[in-house]
Amino acid sequence: MRDIATKSNTKEIIERHGFTFKKSFGQNFLTDTNILNKIVNAADLTDEVGVIEIGPGIGALTEFIARKAKKVVAYEIDPRLIPILAETLAPYDNVKVIHQDILKADVASMIEEEFKDVKEIAVVANLPYYITTPILMGLIEKKLPIDRYVTMMQKEVAERLSAKPGSKDYNALSIAVQYYTEAKIALTVPKTVFIPAPNVDSAVVHLTRREQPAVEVINEDFFMEVVHGAFKQRRKTLQNNLNQHFADLTKEEVTAILEEAGILPNRRGESLSIEEFAKLSNTFYQHLNK
C-alpha cells in the first residue's frame, strides 16, 4: 500500500482534487514518513488505544495512526477535505472522520460513544499553529479521560509548554499545562518536510495527564488568575504586577500577602515554581475571602 505522505503522492492527491491551501485553516501537510513513524512511536499506540486526531488534512498522519491504534476519530474543519479523506482513508475501517471545528465539538460525548472498548485514549495531531493553545487548553481543562497528547506545533510554543522556572520561555502557559500534565519535547521537525513549508520550525510535544494536578490549590480558576496576573508585564516585579491586577488591594496588603507566602516582593513571575504559585494563590485566596 502506498503511503499518502510522500512528496509525490501528496502533490498527486492535491492536484487530482484541485485542492488549494487556505491560510485561514493553517494547512501544512507532512510529507516525511520517517517523521510520521517517530510521532506514532512517541504516542506509544497499540490495538487497545483510541486516538483523537485534529486536522487530518489528506490523511498522512491518520494512516500511520490507523495502522497501530484500535480506532481513530479525526476532526476536520475544511469541507473540501472530507471527500479527499473518504478516498485516501478508504482502506482503513477503524477511522471515523467528523466534519466539525474541534473548538465547538462535544468531545466528551464522542469519547463515550466511540471509545467504549479502548483501554487508553490519546490525542495525536499536527495541530493548526494559529490555534494550538486554545485547542490544547480546551481539551485539557475539560478534564476529559485523555491519557496523553502527542502533538506537533510551532517550536516556540513547544518550548513554552515544557519550560522550567527561570528560563526565557517559562510563562503562564507553561504553568497551566504543567499543572495538569507532565510535558516534554519528543522531537523537533524542520520546516522542509511540509507542503507548503511553514515559516517556522516545529516540534512534537508529549503531554502525559497527571492523576492529580501538580499542586493543591483552593480554587483552580483563582490560581490561574494569580499566575496570569504575575506575568502581566514580564519585566515587572510580582509586587507591581499583582498590585496592578488586584487594584482593590493596597501596596502594603500585597506586600504582606507575598511575605506571608514566603515570596520576596521584588521577584519576577518567571522565577516562581508551580509550588510557589500554589502557595501564593492560596494565601491570596484566603486573604480575599476572610
pLDDT tens readout for residues 35-92: 999 999 999 999 999 999 999 999 999 999 999 999 999 999 999 999 999 999 999 9
Look at residue 210 and tell me whether its pLDDT is greater than 90: yes
Rounded to the nearest 10°, the torsion over CA 21, 26, 30, 31 is 30
Please tell me the pTM assigned to this model.
Answer: 0.93
For the stretch 156-194, pLDDT in tens is 999 999 999 999 999 999 999 999 999 999 999 999 999
Q: CA-to-CA distance for 193 and 7, rounded, in angstroms? A: 9
In terms of domains, do 226 and 205 share one?
Answer: no
- Average of per-residue pLDDT values in the chain: 96
The pLDDT score that the predictor gives to residue 95 is: 98
Instruction: Summarize the annotated binding site as residue ranges.
Output: 28, 30, 55, 76, 101, 126
> Does 54 fall in a domain?
yes
Tens of pLDDT, residues 239-251: 999 999 999 999 9
Rounded distance between C-alpha atoms, residue 210 and residue 132, angstroms: 20
Percent of the chain residues past pLDDT 90, beyond the cut: 94
- pLDDT at position 109 is 98
Show which of 188, 209, 230 is a domain's final residue.
209
Which residues, 6+ apart, have CB-to-CB distance to 28 below 8 Å? 126, 129, 194, 195, 196, 197, 198
The number of distinct structural domains making up the chain is 2
- CATH number of the domain bearing residue 14: 3.40.50.150
Residue 215 placed within a domain: no
Contact assessment for residue 97 and residue 86, using Cβ atoms and an 8 Å cutoff: yes
Q: Which residues are annotated as a binding site for S-adenosyl-L-methionine?
A: 28, 30, 55, 76, 101, 126
Q: Quote the CA–CA distance of 73 and 159 in Å, as a whole number.
A: 28
Q: Does residue 44 belong to any structural domain of this protein?
A: yes
Task: Decide if 2 is inside a domain.
Answer: no
pLDDT of residue 290: 81
Q: Are 263 and 279 in contact (CB under 8 A)?
A: yes
Its domain, for residue 267, covers 220-288
pLDDT of residue 234 exceeding 90: no
Q: Is residue 1 part of a domain?
A: no
Per-residue confidence band for 1, with pLDDT thresholds at 50, 70 and 90 = low
Q: What number of other Cβ atoms are within 10 A of residue 187's Cβ?
A: 17
**DSSP 8-state assignment for residue 232:** S
Tell me the pLDDT band of 2, cut-offs 50, 70 and 90.
Answer: confident
User: Rounded to whole angstroms, how far apart are CA atoms 217 and 186?
Assistant: 29
